[in-house]
């Protein structure tokens, strides 16, 4: 019996692994087609100044609509894209699309705020990012002050000296740099004083249980104080409630993005929020 059970378990495992491998295999093929077949779209989530509800920026967030699989959230396909090297193509598509949009919006007379773009760890470490970004900005006649790149702490810790060089190149081009999901990664704080950074994004996991969770309050308060005293900007992610808004204002964090104001919306809905020049 034991032998049979063991054998069944073994078969179960291999079947599961085969399914996973097969899913990844399908996903890679599908990802490859997605760019060509225009199955990706960008949504934009406004970033708000809490003091007057004005829009100070937006984060570009990718969405994938596959005719067979439906809408696939980035949490499912970005990790696969990172493991298979497809992420460079995706990041490049996002950069091109944002720069193209910014230029178009300006031509249409909109007062365009800065747009934040997520850059994956793998792409960041590649040493070609700065040149690539420069070429894309140039191609679309997009001004670098309107672009912010978001990277995570892990990117910096992987190779601090290389990260420093790449960040400096980008900063010299006039591009703003933010640390995404701040406080969730493996990191040392010493890089904050040496690297050319512009802002910290407080991860939504520290915001979502405010005001109930005193520890999250303490951590958020500490991040805000750290940013303020280092002369970095700070923005809270995932602000969903009026109480969280109150907390952030009281603690001196005046910028936020979250469902309380707006989720990430399609381009036309985002434009409806902007003013004309």
In this structure, are residues 46 and 262 in contact, taking their beta carbons and an 8 Å threshold?
yes
The one segment of 16-24, 56-64, 133-141, 191-199 that binds ligand C2E by CB under 6 A: 56-64
Which residue in the set 28, 69, 74, 157 belongs to the binding site for ligand C2E (CB under 6 A)?
Answer: 74
Instruction: Give dist(CA 200, CA 178) in Å, integer.
Output: 6
The string of DSSP codes covering the chain is: -HHHHHHHHHHHHHHHHHHHHHHHHHHHHHHHHHHHTT-EEEEEEEEEETTTTEEEEEEEEEEEEETTTEEE-HHHHHHHHHHHTTHHHHHHHHHHHHHHHHHHHHHTTB-PPEEEEE--HHHHTTS-HHHHHHHHHHHTT--GGGEEEEEEHHHHHH-HHHHHHHHHHHHHTT-EEEEEEETSSS--TTHHHHS---EEEE-HHHHTTTTT-HHHHHHHHHHHHHHHHHT-EEEEE---SHHHHHHHHHHT--EEESTTT---B-HHHHHHHSPB-
Stretch that binds ligand C2E, among 9-17, 24-32, 46-54, 256-264 (CB under 6 A): 256-264
Q: Answer yes or no whether residue 98 interacts with ligand C2E by CB under 6 A.
A: no
Q: Is 61 in the site for ligand C2E (CB under 6 A)?
A: yes
97's contact among ligand C2E, Mg ion, none, with CB below 5 to 8 A by partner kind, is none
Q: In angstroms, what is the minimal distance from the CB of 124 to ligand C2E?
A: 10
Q: Select the binding partner of residue 75 from ligand C2E, Mg ion, none (C-beta < 5 to 8 A, by kind).
A: ligand C2E
Of 144 and 262, which has the nearer Cβ to ligand C2E?
A: 262
Closest approach of Mg ion to the CB of residue 150, in Å: 4
Residue 143's closest CA among 97, 111, 174? 174
For ligand C2E, which residue of 46, 64, 91, 178 counts as binding (CB under 6 A)? 91
Among residue numbers 145 through 174, which ones bind ligand C2E (CB under 6 A)?
none
CB of 118 to ligand C2E, least distance (A): 4
User: What, of Mg ion, ligand C2E, none, does residue 73 touch, CB below 5 to 8 Å by kind?
Assistant: ligand C2E
133 scored as a contact of ligand C2E (CB under 6 A): no
Phi and psi dihedrals of 231, rounded to 5? Answer: 75, 25
Minimum separation from the CB atom of position 252 to ligand C2E (A): 20
| 181-240: contacts with ligand C2E (CB under 6 A) | 181, 204, 237-240
Taking the complex as a whole, the smallest distance from the CB of residue 219 to ligand C2E amounts, in Å, to: 16
Beta bridge pairs of residue 76: none
CB atoms inside a 10 Å sphere around CB 259: 12
Residues that bind Mg ion (CB under 5 A): 118, 150, 180-181, 237
Smallest separation, CB 205 to ligand C2E (Å): 10
**Any contact of residue 73 with ligand C2E (CB under 6 A)?**
yes
The contact set with ligand C2E (CB under 6 A) reads 45, 60-62, 73-75, 78, 91, 94, 118, 120, 180-181, 204, 237-240, 257-259, 264
């Amino acid at each position: 019996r034991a032998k049979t059970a063991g054998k069944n378990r073994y078969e179960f495992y291999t079947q599961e692994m085969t399914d996973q491998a097969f899913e990844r295999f399908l996903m890679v093929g599908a990802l490859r087609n997605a760019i060509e077949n225009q199955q990706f779209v960008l949504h934009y989530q406004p970033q708000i100044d809490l003091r007057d509800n004005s829009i100070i920026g937006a984060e570009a967030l990718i969405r994938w609509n596959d005719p067979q699989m439906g809408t696939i959230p980035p949490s499912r396909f970005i990790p696969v894209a990172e493991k298979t090297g497809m992420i460079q193509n995706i990041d490049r598509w996002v950069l091109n699309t944002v720069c193209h949009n910014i230029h178009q919006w300006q031509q249409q007379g909109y007062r365009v705020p800065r747009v934040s773009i997520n850059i994956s760890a793998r792409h960041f470490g590649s040493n070609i990012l700065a040149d690539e970004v420069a070429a894309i900005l140039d191609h679309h006649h997009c001004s670098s002050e309107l672009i912010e790149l978001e990277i995570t702490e892990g990117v910096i810790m992987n190779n601090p000296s290389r990260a420093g060089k790449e960040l400096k190149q980008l900063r010299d081009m006039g591009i703003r740099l933010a640390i995404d999901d701040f406080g969730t990664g493996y990191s040392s704080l010493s890089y904050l004083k040496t690297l050319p950074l512009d802002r910290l994004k407080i991860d939504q996991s520290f915001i979502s249980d405010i005001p109930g969770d005193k520890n999250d309050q303490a951590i958020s308060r500490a991040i805000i104080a750290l940013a303020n005293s280092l002369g970095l900007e700070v923005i809270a992610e995932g602000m969903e409630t009026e109480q969280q808004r109150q907390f952030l204002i009281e603690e001196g964090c005046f910028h936020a993005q979250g469902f309380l104001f707006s989720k990430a919306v399609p381009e036309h809905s985002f434009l409806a929020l902007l003013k004309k020049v």
